[in-house]
Structure 1
Amino acid sequence: MNPKPPVITCFGEILWDVLPTSKQPGGAPMNVAADLRNFGLNAQLISRVGSDELGRELLDFLAQKGLPTDLVQIDLSHQTGVAQANVSDANEVTYQLVQPVAWDHISLETNLLDTVRQSDLFVYGSLAARSPQTHETLLALLEVANRKIFDVNLRAPHYSRETVEELLHRANIVKLNEHELAELSGWYGNDPDLRQGMEQLRNRYQLETLCVTLGEQGAALLDAGGFVQQTGFSVEVEDTIGSGDAFLAAFLYKTLAGESAQKTLEFACATGAYVATQRGATPFFSAETIHRQILRSAVQ
């Protein structure tokens, strides 16, 4: 009898990234869920869209990606989320997020509690906690979640130290970037090097695993087995939208497969690099696509 495949539920924002010449579906939780589906995993998204054309287009997009839409609520009072993306620096995309929008009002429904209880992994971020209603819903779901993955996503002015610390205390696995690590370390009066900063954060919040992305320099991981670092992959960047989300999806894919920390980090870095070569946050790819990228880099 085959074991039941793992279920991963992602929670939070779904929106349109409005670029200078087009718009792209986005939102970190949605990106992670779509990328997990690329790897053949059973991923789903809890979010909320408006009863408008942009919302209908996002639901159609989820269906194209193979993501179920039954956990995406329809809001009759608030518009679908929009983020104005500034891509003048291809390596550091910035966003201006409209507020309030539909995903600020994700309501706690009984089916959500049941869904999260039955999920192997629950992925959430800090941005969705910017509004009281979605924040309260998130805390309720964290109470029943099994293994909790916190994707720190500090978008000023949409977070507070109090909320981020609250979400860190509930996490098993945390992923953040080097700038976010530096900010969090600064809260505690520290100015450590990478490894010391990671050790301090992991110990403070008793985390199972802490992963820090380093942009083109790769990533680092700290867990019970120790500290591991992976150099980046040299690629021609189209844009970096969604690269960090693809990294997280690949990291979870290999973690669920029981891969070693070093191999997991290598695969995740290669996935983030591949997505940076593509336009938009959620290009189609497979595990084979990423393995080919690793092989190409090895022979260069």
Structure 2
Amino acid sequence: MTPKLTVFGEVLWDVLPDVRLAGGATMNVAAHLQRYGMDVSFISRVGHDELGAELLAFMTQQGLDTQWVQTGETHLTGIAKANVSDSNEVTYKILHPVAWDYIQFDAAAAQQVADSDFFVYGTLAARDHTTRDTLLRYLARPGSGHTCIPVFDVNLRPPHYTREQVLELLSFAGIVKMNEHEIREVTGWLTPFENEKQAMAFLIDHFKLDMFVLTCGAEGARVLTGSGEYHQHPGFTVEVADTIGSGDAFLGAFLYQTATGHPLSESLEFACAAGAFVAGKAGALPAFGETDILDFIHTQQPSLPQYPVTH
């Protein structure tokens, strides 16, 4: 049976100096999962405006089912202005409030979450109380004898989060993904930071997590499970076009591999390759498929400088 995943959060337009691209971390993850043939549902909200209609058309073109994407009358579709002056560290000015700050609770969508194998959510959509309350209701809803694993993609975009919000969302998670800057900040709220592996183990124990995934810049990525299984990958080489969406590509690829039963070491390698591949192309959703990622892995030269997998 094809794994079923529900993704909850923001969808928006990334506005670059010379182009406007459909984006939002959670929408990107959903689109990547769709490309790998997963059964994906995406819960979000757009405005009743031209930009919202264009986003709905884009998602449909990507193969995403938009039945759970609400259309609001009172707030505009989301926009983020991206600064790509440093191709390795893209920064954003994210408009607030917008439509996805007002995702309404839906009992049918809640059942969709409960029936899923994985429920993916992030930090940004929880910045305002309406969408945060909806998310918390979905996370707190018990399944009917079915285990749905909550996946928290920590994506700290100042000033759109608080310590209290992030810690609350961590308390519901089964799998968590962070980058090296985020793990240092979050761990520092709770205990002295020693090193990444110590921090991963601490957070797993503190929040009773099943798995922690860490992207580590030039050192690639690491994964640690609650049972102590540990893997790391050094990353891949690519000439960076921009890093928009590379972390989303990483997470989508990792979840695809994990959901379909691949060993963790293979899942981590595939995810690192997907993140690097996307960083070598413009925008968050360049055209590619699983075969492209496997070819990319097979053609790498380990002696060349490594590409840092980041958000």
Give the TM-score taking structure 1 as reference length: 0.96
Matched residue SS, 2:300: helix
Match of 2:275 among 248, 272, 277: 272
The 4+ residue runs of structure 1 with deviation greater than 6 A are none
Aligned equivalents of 1:124, 1:189: Cα separation in 2: 25
AA aligned opposite 2:299: R
Counterpart mapping for 1:180-199 below 5 A: 180-199=182-201
- The corresponding residue for 2:178 is 176
Match of 1:20 among 13, 17, 20: 17
Q: How big is the shift at 1:298?
A: 5.2
- The corresponding residue for 1:110 is 107
- The corresponding residue for 2:298 is 295
Aligned equivalents of 1:280, 1:235: Cα separation in 2: 15
Q: Contact 1:216 / 1:234 at 8 angstroms: preserved in 2? A: no
Aligned equivalents of 1:66, 1:195: Cα separation in 2: 38
Question: Structure 1 vs Structure 2: percent identity of aligned residues?
Answer: 51
Aligned equivalents of 1:44, 1:59: Cα separation in 2: 14
Q: Deviations over 1:11-57 (max 9, x none)?
A: 00000000011110010110000001111111121000000000000
- The corresponding residue for 2:207 is 205
Q: Contact 1:126 / 1:152 at 8 angstroms: preserved in 2? A: yes
Q: How big is the shift at 1:222?
A: 0.4
Q: Deviations over 1:227-260 (max 9, x none)?
A: 2110010100000000000000010011012111
Q: Contact 2:3 / 2:260 at 8 angstroms: preserved in 1? A: no
Matched residue SS, 1:45: strand
Aligned equivalents of 2:113, 2:203: Cα separation in 1: 26
Aligned equivalents of 1:172, 1:186: Cα separation in 2: 21
With over 3 angstroms needed to count, the CA separation of the structure-2 counterparts of 1:84 and 1:121, relative to structure 1, is: same
Matched residue SS, 1:215: coil
- The corresponding residue for 1:214 is 216
Q: Contact 1:185 / 1:197 at 8 angstroms: preserved in 2? A: yes
- The corresponding residue for 2:308 is none
Structure with greater helix percent: 1
Aligned equivalents of 2:208, 2:23: Cα separation in 1: 31
- Give the total of aligned pairs: 297
Counterpart mapping for 1:19-38 below 5 A: 19-38=16-35
Give yes or no for the alignment of 1:78 onto 2:81: no
Gaps in structure 2 of 5+ consecutive residues: 304-311
Aligned equivalents of 2:27, 2:116: Cα separation in 1: 16
Give the TM-score taking structure 2 as reference length: 0.93
- The corresponding residue for 2:134 is 137
Q: How big is the shift at 1:226?
A: 2.1
Q: Deviations over 1:106-163 (max 9, x none)?
A: 0001221121122111000011111110000000111236210000011111111111
Counterpart mapping for 1:41-80 below 5 A: 41-80=38-77
Match of 1:5 among 2, 5, 13: 2
